[in-house]
Structure 1
Amino acid sequence: MTNKIDTILFDLDGTLINTIDLIVASFEHTLEEYFPGKYERNDIPSFIGPPLSETFERMNPDHVDEMIDVYRKFNHANHDSLVTEYEGVKETLDKLQEQGYAMAVVTTKKRDTALKGLQLMGMEEYFPVVVSLDEVTRYKPDPEPLMLALEQLNKSPEQAVMVGDSEHDILAGKNTGTLSAGVSWSIKGKEFLETFDPDVMLEKMTDLLDYMESLEKQSV
């Protein structure tokens, strides 16, 4: 391996911070208002990953902006009570930072909500670069947001790993030319993510430390 892998791009929701209960509750609240009784809780994982505009456009193109507004109001109001930590994430980020890895968040959330989550979990210090929906015209799995993060870190795709809980993250890594790591705690399920052929599947976030160490040995 000629390039040293020294950069890690992370998805936010469902990867670094546990926003699953919040996201599910926000969808349930919005869908019950616009489609009473039509959707059940087990329908919701299929809506997670793309920006809200794309999801709601498919459901009801005449009311996209209204639905986003209803979703976001509920989401912001309940954010701090429903967002929780994943075990091992802070420990992993601490060690990666100590080891000198460049790190960024690449998310399809709006910037204010993404920063709210990072601040709540005390993770802002690890991420000098946050690329959100507000900074791009195309979103994962398009390479644009990953390339923007890499540019801001002054890194190339060959130096990076994309870590995420959605097929959009795995495909974005492949489309950009980075390695990709799936997380087994994805709401969509480990088996589903494995069908997109990530380079590694993390059972817990601390597994990322072992994976980065193995890549380090390969580059020597």
Structure 2
Amino acid sequence: MRHVVLFDLDGTLIDSGPIILASMKHASLAVLGREPDEELVRAAIGGPGLFAQMRDLDPDRVDELVEAYRLHNEPLHATLEGFDVLRLLPVLKDEGRRLGIVTAKRLRTVGLALDRFPELGEAMDVVIGAEDTERHKPEPDPVLEALRRLDASPADAAYVGDSPFDIHAGNAAGVFTVAVGWGGIHPDERLLHAGPDALVHTAEELHGVL
């Protein structure tokens, strides 16, 4: 049994894929006057963060794109829905596990999700956001920082995520990696190509591999 279970946020705990795509489209249209390539946008979600994604759209207008994205995206957090996996969190806590969130989102935006789902914040022993490490997923630094704060070893931990970036980060950190297929952004084939220790499609399957 893994005594520490770390989760990605977007597409893993909360169904934020639709609002991310909508806000990326809005920012590109508002600032650049064109729609982005949706497949390229999808492929980058869950990676090294918003600034890197906007740099791919236009390296000369990153700040404008980020501002347009955030103005559009932050109010949409009030409409967020959680995935079924949220009901697994109290079960894991009752089993004595320590839980954490490891995300590329800045902590202010993470706070919007935690406001929407108070039970999510209450379940977490650590939250790692964009400000907490210099390097971001797919580098292992955010996962390792969570373990450092929990005084836990990689051998005793799992990282659960919906993107190849999550799996690469977890593998590089030496933890047990679980890809979830319910995020709606990255197809199973892309997740499997990243080399997770397990791929699951339900909360029950996740509980089983942990």
Q: Does 1:140 align with 2:137?
A: yes
- Number of aligned pairs? 207
Whole-angstrom CA distance in 1 between matches of 2:44 and 2:32: 15
- Percent identity over the alignment is 31
Contact 2:133 2:141 in 1 (8 A): yes
Name structure 2 gaps, 5 residues minimum.
none
Q: What does the per-residue CA deviation read over 1:31-60, in whole Å, with 9 as the maximum and x for residues that have no partner?
A: 112333343544431231220111111221
TM-score by length of 1: 0.89
Contact 1:91 1:206 in 2 (8 A): no
Whole-angstrom CA distance in 1 between matches of 2:88 and 2:68: 35
Which residue pairs with 2:163 in the alignment?
166
Extract structure 1 runs of 4+ deviating beyond 6 A: none
Letter in 1 for 2:198: V
Q: Does 1:34 align with 2:56?
A: no
Q: What does the per-residue CA deviation read over 1:41-96, in whole Å, with 9 as the maximum and x for residues that have no partner?
A: 44431231220111111221111111111111111122212x11112x22210100
Which residue pairs with 2:112 in the alignment?
116
Q: What does the per-residue CA deviation read over 1:107-134, in whole Å, with 9 as the maximum and x for residues that have no partner?
A: 0000011121122122111112100001
2:58 pairs with one of 51, 57, 60: 60
Name structure 1 gaps, 5 residues minimum.
213-220
Q: Does 1:46 align with 2:30?
A: no
Whole-angstrom CA distance in 1 between matches of 2:161 and 2:28: 26
Q: Does 1:188 align with 2:186?
A: yes
Which residue pairs with 1:200 in the alignment?
198
**Superposition RMSD in Å:** 1.4
Which residue pairs with 1:151 in the alignment?
148
Whole-angstrom CA distance in 1 between matches of 2:133 and 2:174: 18
TM-score by length of 2: 0.93
Structure exhibiting the larger radius of gyration computed from Cα positions: 1
Q: What does the per-residue CA deviation read over 1:173-197, in whole Å, with 9 as the maximum and x for residues that have no partner?
A: 1110001000112311112101111
